[in-house]
A and B are shown apart, each in its own frame.
Chain A
Amino acid sequence: MSDSSQPGLDSRRRDFLVKLAQGAALAGTGGLLWDYILRNEARAAPYALRPPGALDEDDFNAACIKCGQCVVDCPPLILKLQPAGGNLPIGMPYFEPRTGPCIMCPDIPCMKACPTGALSPSLKKIEDARMGLAVIDIENCLSWKGLRCEICHRECPVKGKAITLETHPRQISKHAMFVPLVHSDSCTGCGICEKACPTTIAAIRVLPHKLVQGKIGEHYRLGWTFDTEVTQDFKSPEVAPADGSEAAVPKTAPGVDYLNEGGL
């Protein structure tokens, strides 16, 4: 009796287990493929210039719902949604400064149109936007060739801060050059300079920070700059004065003058 019923039960159980394994395999391979496609698509993101207030790349990729309301509300209509098959992640807003730079509307309508917060409402002033960073190709910049071009400097909406003109010496007996220099602490990445650049292919271009900006190690102490922060390692131990008055050494002291304080 048990012999005849046992195989039936076993084969049913076997069928079930095989089906379970097949289902799991299908879900696993399909899921891996899907996941690969997503990550591959998202990998193109560092090349995209996003509207002002956009979150960091990974967060923006996740939070953007691809609705295009920023595109609709952009007054100069420079924003585009990437259609399928392009070289940027699908469906998300971007702009190309050479053909359509951001005109830096003071009320930031694109950000206000964003329903999800992918364009973060924490951006209060358009001057604080960091869409990208202008980079100058000094081999093809007219100013660096010695011409008085300076168009980028004059067109820059953050005048005198994002792009400054510096004198650059040439060989003896020639005039100094006036060359543009971009400052990342003020450049919003609007791309008006790139649009205005008169060379055939723009010699000043806006790129995402990630692709162009370096970073020095945190252990460097630039003693000759005024805003260098004094870290705890270099601070004098805080000794509370006996009479309870203010500490003798102000907390903002740029460094420790231990040689003059009789430590030796």
Chain B
Amino acid sequence: MSDTTVRAPSAAAEHPVPTGLWVWRYIILRRISQVGILLLFFGTLHWGWEFSKDVGLLSGNLSASTFIGLIPLTDPFAALQIFLTGHVLAQESLIGVAVVLGFYLLVGGRVFCSWVCPVNMVTDAAGWLRNKLGILAIFHLPRALRYFILAATLVITVISGLAAFEWVSPIGMMHREIVFGLGMGFTALLAIFLFDLLILKHGWCGHLCPLGAFYGLVGKTALIRVRFDKNTCTHCGECAKICPEPQVLNLKKLEERGYVFSGECSNCGRCTPICPEGSLKFDFKPLIRGHNVQADAIAVQRRTK
């Protein structure tokens, strides 16, 4: 510990915070992914994009879809709600749930949030503008609120017999209205934008969204993680400044685990390119321990030199 604090000033001077387009690489990739997925849905419906004769490329929307006429994909949270209304879903939906759930169990549940969900573009824009304008916080809400909203969603689904979140979801409104035709859904998005911009920083995605909470729980087992190298970290705090879920970058826990452990991390890739020391890097979870041991050995070597 003392070693890092001593090293900090000189290291910070040696390695300034990286800038330039390369730092934005994950954000650019995420926008391509988010827009690209919507474009596939849109093109299949409106421009007749086909995989083969009469087989659409990606038919449906983010609630449920069929890829190349073969692979069903189903939103597991929507399916869970429908199940709780007392309906046994058709086999196709259940396979779709398995495919989607399996994917996110591997790559990280909230990868949906930052790489797929279109509302992320709205809230990222609000967050960016909020930073630019330096808007101060009015009040705080606990980030655990979303888990209570998740629980409420399931309870109300049982009581009302309707998929509670699917009927009011701004995420659903956004992707449905982009793919299938415009309505008043943009007012909900405007509300989220203003809420995130003026009222609560990272308000929707970081505090309220029950789908994000659901995927946060799913992401506990993820294999793609942000590895943390405690030997090179100078505690400069640049990562926490830009992270939309800064509680996942708790230094004590990072040092204990050697990687970002919380399922609330969405693998958005903001922190990894910005770190001046390269202490945060995407890694494959089974390899992380080995990499950290290696890093420790190198650090010891350097110190003894």
A interface with B by C-beta (< 8 Å): 27, 30-31, 34-35, 37-39, 41-42, 58-59, 61-63, 65-69, 71-73, 80-86, 89-91, 113-117, 121
Contact = CB atoms under 8 A, between A and B. Distances in A.
Interface in B136-185: 148, 152, 155-156, 159-164, 166-168, 172-173, 176-177, 179-185
A115 B173 contact: no
A73 to B, nearest CB: 7
A69 B166 contact: no
Contacts, number: 149
A69 B72 CA distance: 11
A85 B84 CA distance: 26
26 contacts: A34-B152, A34-B164, A38-B156, A59-B87, A62-B82, A62-B85, A63-B85, A65-B74, A65-B163, A68-B45, A68-B180, A69-B59, A69-B66, A71-B180, A72-B56, A80-B181, A81-B181, A84-B177, A84-B183, A84-B187, A85-B184, A90-B168, A113-B59, A113-B66, A116-B90, A117-B93
Contacts of A84: 173, 177, 183-185, 187-188
Contacts of A59: 87
Contacts of A39: 160, 162
Given A38-B162, A65-B78, A84-B173, 11 more contacts: A31-B159, A34-B152, A35-B164, A63-B85, A80-B181, A84-B187, A90-B168, A115-B89, A115-B90, A117-B89, A121-B90
Contacts of B155: 31
B182 A83 contact: yes
A69 B60 contact: yes
Which of A58, A67, A71, A113 has the most chain B CB atoms closer than 10 A to its own CB?
Answer: A67
B87 A67 contact: no
B82 A65 contact: yes
B238 interface: no
Contacts of B66: 69, 113, 115
Interface of B: 44-45, 56, 59-61, 63-66, 72, 74-75, 78-79, 82, 85-87, 89-90, 92-93, 96, 148, 152, 155-156, 159-164, 166-168, 172-173, 176-177, 179-185, 187-188
Contact of B75 (A35, A65, A83, A90): A65
User: Which of A35, A38, A80, A115 counts the most chain B CB atoms within 10 A?
Assistant: A115
A67 B79 CA distance: 12
B176 A83 contact: yes
A68 B87 contact: no
A116 B156 contact: no
Given A72-B45, A84-B184, A91-B166, A66 B63 contact: yes
A121 B91 CA distance: 12
Given A31-B152, A85-B187, A113-B66, A63 B160 contact: no
Contacts of B180: 68, 71, 80-81, 83
B90 A114 contact: yes
Given A38-B160, A68-B176, A85 B64 contact: no
Nearest to B166: A66
B90 A86 contact: no
Given A42-B162, A67-B61, A31 B173 contact: no
Contacts of A30: 152
Nearest to A121: B90
Contact of B79 (A41, A65, A71): A65
Nearest to B162: A38
Given A90-B167, A115-B74, A35 B182 contact: no
Nearest to A63: B87
Given A38-B162, A39-B160, A72-B59, A90 B181 contact: no
A89 B75 CA distance: 20
A84 B169 CA distance: 10
B174 to A, nearest CB: 10
Contact of B59 (A41, A73, A91): A73
Contacts of A27: 148, 152
Contacts of A35: 156, 159-160, 164
B88 to A, nearest CB: 8
Contacts of B176: 66, 68, 81, 83, 91
B162 A83 contact: no
A85 B75 contact: no
Contacts of B82: 62-63, 65, 116
B95 to A, nearest CB: 9
Nearest to B182: A83
Nearest to A85: B184
Nearest to A27: B152
